[in-house]
Amino acid sequence: MGLNGFGHRRIGWLMAIAVLASCGCQTVRTPEEKIASSNIPVEFTKVSMPEYVVEPPDLLLVEVLEALPGRPISGERLVKPDGKISLGFYGEVYVAGLTTLEIKEKIVLHLRQYVSDDYLGLWRLDPGDPEDPDDDKQVPVDPKDSDRVFVDITAYNSKVYYVQGDVAAPGRMPITGNETVLDAINYAGGLIATAAPQNIRLVRPAPPGACCQQVLPVNLAAIVSAGDPTTNYQLMPGDRLMVYRDPIVRATIFIDRIAAPFQTVVNSVLQYSFAARSVKTINSAVVGASTANTGAPAAAQPGAR
Per-residue model confidence as pLDDT tens digits over 27-67: 345 666 677 777 899 999 999 998 999 999 999 999 999 89
Decide if pLDDT at 180 tops 80.
yes
Closest CA to 176 of 156, 196, 197: 156
Pick the CATH number of 59-155 from 3.90.75, 3.30.1950, 3.30.70, 3.40.50: 3.30.1950
**pLDDT for the residue numbered 276:** 86
**Distant-in-sequence, close-in-space partners of 254: CB < 8 Å, separation ≥ 6:** 18, 19, 21, 22
Mean pLDDT (the chain) is 84
**How do residues 145-167 score in pLDDT, each as one tens digit?**
999 999 999 999 999 999 999 99
Distances (CA, A) of 146 to 21, 65, 95, 111: 63, 11, 18, 13
52 within 8 A of 99, measured Cβ to Cβ = yes
Q: 72-76, 99-103, 263-267: which has the minimum mean pLDDT?
A: 263-267
**pLDDT for the residue numbered 91:** 96
DSSP bridge partners of 161:
173
Number of separate helices (H) and strands (E) present in the chain? 6, 12
CATH 3.20.20.70 fits 18-49+159-248, yes or no: no
**pLDDT for the residue numbered 303:** 55
Q: 50-54, 204-208, 247-251: which has the minimum mean pLDDT?
A: 204-208
**The model's pTM:** 0.69
153 within 8 A of 59, measured Cβ to Cβ = yes
Decide if pLDDT at 133 tops 80.
no
CATH 3.30.1950 in the chain is located at 59-155
| Through-space distance between the first and last CA atoms of the chain, rounded to whole angstroms | 78
**How do residues 86-131 score in pLDDT, each as one tens digit?**
999 999 999 999 999 999 999 999 999 999 998 999 988 776 666 6
**pLDDT for the residue numbered 253:** 83
Decide if pLDDT at 173 tops 50.
yes
Mean pLDDT for 223-237 is 94
CATH 3.10.560.10 in the chain is located at 18-49+159-248
